[in-house]
Structure 1
């Protein structure tokens, strides 16, 4: 492995309706369905909704996305009035007070011609998954958790997930949790909201599972690793026959790994109900990414090759959380606009000033002040006082905030603002300048270094000399200044520029076709084994007999540390200890580097 990778990685309505994000009118683009980030901050959510102008309403449309705030309801960057809206939760009538930040909902309504305000006629919420936590695995840096719930891998983030009746640190195996979020590759689900329901009682606690039915027989089928017993279930096949490959939602109880179903509902596919020319707006994770003209969002094929994007430099990849607006052409969504809904910049510190009218928050760190703009897509939550309808008007100087943001031009736009108890001051951002062994600058704020701890991308400790030798301008790093902040960094670590917390560490399990999902490994993105470019346990290797290269291998082809690094004393090419394109030969086709195109290994 190249060590550079350690520092710089190259019902009334069911939830199936969330995939049916068409407007009631044909033709047209996303229009008001996705509010663009304005040149100046749009008024952020306030309780009285002041600042709205008189506008003309557009035709009925439908949006799918997570609730980001209240004072009305904010979904998809649009503020919706809900006075006369029908609200349905898990198939039952409800009220706006039953909705919560982080819920992924389907919303019908009208959007005004300003693109940022509207009126909801109907809001539907149905969770993705309800069941007991089987196991919990933390990421190396402690900022993400992998929960296994009914065989699904649920990625939970310290900052990116909303918690109800539980916290990131108090989640425990055996908790029954309701999960709302964005489906990703294989069996992964990135949680936008986790609510603890109860302790798990086998054979008694109600669970809910959604997925693809496989191995269907007269009285059972499987969803991933879970066997569903349908012998006593009511089966609703209004949206299609229960057969192999059918999308289903299952209700029942769980005991000894078997889900005994009380009800099974078949569901439409991602494009069910869409007609050519329908306008579509949907927010979720990118999956099955091939290129910008070929990927999926919540299962819907998307072509964003000609779409405008915000920020302008937004790079798409599996796991990227986006809001997409465009037109369905009968086979795919032709995106006209795509907007980032998550950022890799993080700021944690006390509020120096807040302007609720303009939506700007100043964070006053010991090392300097950083200004952050909010807009109508910013998710607001309060983990300190648990105010349910939390708005910018509730924030005052001295409050401690955790903010996630992205850079748009010369300003920061917040995707998440979370009020917390005071803690260490943190800035995670690209490096703008540095003086080795002395200081570094992020977001215009300069931190000195002294008795500072350093870590690489794998969260392994490294020396100051190694850190600065590998540091380059633009690298994403996290700087922590302990709670009694003094502007001197206590810890600095390299971070992944493109992937959200937990994305690198946690695999994806099974695909929708029931087969294993091969992620890139953490050793490298190429292979000298087969031709798929990815190391899996099915590949042969040249080290031990586990069929995959890991640091635990007893030997390698260079030295005896079990893994190729630049520190190896030799290699099989030119003796520099690592394979590069400059090598004169390799073990495959003589191009100097092993790639998936090599004919042999």
Structure 2
């Protein structure tokens, strides 16, 4: 269901109510007295996409301003976009909610041992405490840019909020960097999460993805007993790095995202341990059960596989999330282009001829070191005609075609007037092609082999007459995506 929370926020700003809204929703907290229709009550787990209250899973949650965390965060104004939160409260189908409690926990924390980054593809890999962490265009960086970190990885410590993947590696949603010496607690304080292997209860040691843990001086956190340690158990370890070993101080079992008291739950993450025969998979340690009543949006059950990024809504019963709806969250289209017009009322942009739809899930960020914490209203208002944007999202066929934006990153001072679009081909004519209601003239370039439904990569520009034309041959992929629709 399309949500209009952004429209409400922008209208507040346009009518002069922004100052009051920021006083209630920004800074140290927000007005938790905001009422909702209460159509859902339970727990929502997902990455922060905006502020002015807190946006998680497309819902604007009004908060009290406090955060529960063992990692030095106490207030809402210490949160960053990309951090994965557990929000307990109520929310409705209009995208409005009330948070009774917000919790945050670092996934990994410590010194970087290596990092690669491709600034063109916006993908890379970070290595931390022997763990492999995938990076992409939806990973939010604070404290340093990915290019800066990759140039001197051993010079930084990071805190990482990430989704655990099927092979034990991670997909980063947030990376907060500090130069060595500008520490979080101290330079040797670390946190790691993963599966226990090579447990030696006599020596009181084990490994996580090959990285050694010494727990001779550790205690169990909360109600976890060290006697319960076993190979195959997922644990969180906090301690100190001494040489190449973590000397554990506290060990806890994996976070319980939900409890049997939850009426409604929703969570985003990457699938692992998928079993088609039992119609089950795991998402961030939560067992998800598909039933005959499960609905699928933007994907089919047959396309479920380990590593696929999705959102699941349902109810938590007897230790499992019984899925009512599973929605695909993988982007299937990308656009690099310049903003030509902005429609605040309908939350849309025209970017190099393509209509881009914003939603409560859209992450808006800048490609610089500006760590200024803006509200959602300010994020939208910061976009200007002429800005050069990199957009990832989902191709839609409604209203002739559009791009639903999952993430928007603004490139500083980009003077490039050549645009790039990766999307499904809607039409091929004798002198033009059409993608998402954008007609692009061939201009003598080849579209050989490209057919309607193919994924294509197009480079183009805007002419002085206001039309669009190719600047290179069309690169076609003959695999069509039959999961995408509205």
Deviation, 1:75, is 0.7
Report 1:187-586 matches (<5 A). 187-199=168-180, 204-217=187-200, 218-236=203-221, 238-240=223-225, 241-261=228-248, 263-268=249-254, 274-275=259-260, 278-291=263-276, 293-305=279-291, 306-311=293-298, 315-363=303-351, 365=352, 369-383=353-367, 387-389=372-374, 390-410=378-398, 411-421=402-412, 422=414, 423=416, 424-434=418-428, 440-448=433-441, 468-469=448-449, 471-481=450-460, 487-490=469-472, 492-494=474-476
Deviation, 1:63, is 1.1
Q: Aligned equivalents of 1:255 and 1:491: distance in 2?
A: 55
Match of 1:37 in 2: 2
Q: Aligned equivalents of 1:216 and 1:168: distance in 2?
A: 35
Unaligned stretches of 5+ residues in structure 1 = 1-35, 453-463, 499-601
Deviation, 1:348, is 1.7
Q: Aligned equivalents of 1:396 and 1:442: distance in 2?
A: 24
Match of 1:32 in 2: none
The CA deviation string for residues 215-251 of structure 1, in whole angstroms up to 9 with x for no partner, is 2234311111100122333443722433333332222
Deviation, 1:401, is 1.8
Deviation, 1:482, is 7.6
Distance change in 2, residues 1:59/1:294 (3 Å): closer
The CA deviation string for residues 267-302 of structure 1, in whole angstroms up to 9 with x for no partner, is 24657x632874321111122223393222112222
Deviation, 1:210, is 1.0
Give the TM-score normalised by the residue count of structure 2.
0.78
Deviates more, 1:294-303 or 1:370-379: 294-303
Larger % of strand: which?
2
Q: Aligned equivalents of 1:447 and 1:304: distance in 2?
A: 42
The CA deviation string for residues 376-416 of structure 1, in whole angstroms up to 9 with x for no partner, is 12222233565421421222211222221213441432111
Deviates more, 1:182-191 or 1:475-484: 475-484
Contact 2:349 2:355 in 1 (8 A): yes
Match of 2:52 in 1: 71
Distance change in 2, residues 1:277/1:417 (3 Å): closer
Residue 133 (str. 1) matches residue 127 (str. 2): no
Distance change in 2, residues 1:338/1:96 (3 Å): same
Residue 163 (str. 1) matches residue 127 (str. 2): no
Q: Aligned equivalents of 1:473 and 1:295: distance in 2?
A: 34
Q: Aligned equivalents of 2:123 and 2:73: distance in 1?
A: 34
Distance change in 2, residues 1:480/1:259 (3 Å): farther
Q: Aligned equivalents of 2:103 and 2:259: distance in 1?
A: 18
SS in 2 for 1:166: coil
Match of 2:484 in 1: none
Q: Aligned equivalents of 1:395 and 1:140: distance in 2?
A: 22
Distance change in 2, residues 1:141/1:434 (3 Å): farther
Q: Aligned equivalents of 1:55 and 1:329: distance in 2?
A: 25
SS in 2 for 1:405: strand
Match of 1:95 in 2: 75
SS in 1 for 2:167: coil
Larger % of helix: which?
2
Deviation, 1:95, is 1.6
The CA deviation string for residues 166-206 of structure 1, in whole angstroms up to 9 with x for no partner, is 223222231322211211111221111111122389x9532
Q: Aligned equivalents of 1:141 and 1:59: distance in 2?
A: 41
Match of 1:22 in 2: none
Contact 1:310 1:408 in 2 (8 A): no
Distance change in 2, residues 1:147/1:449 (3 Å): farther
Match of 1:122 in 2: 101
SS in 2 for 1:472: coil
Q: Aligned equivalents of 2:222 and 2:134: distance in 1?
A: 31
Distance change in 2, residues 1:387/1:91 (3 Å): closer
Match of 1:590 in 2: none
Question: Cα RMSD (Å) of the superposition?
Answer: 3.5
SS in 2 for 1:171: helix
Contact 2:460 2:472 in 1 (8 A): yes
Q: Aligned equivalents of 1:264 and 1:416: distance in 2?
A: 36
Residue 176 (str. 1) matches residue 154 (str. 2): no
Distance change in 2, residues 1:312/1:285 (3 Å): closer
SS in 2 for 1:407: strand
Q: Aligned equivalents of 2:462 and 2:179: distance in 1?
A: 35
Contact 2:5 2:95 in 1 (8 A): no
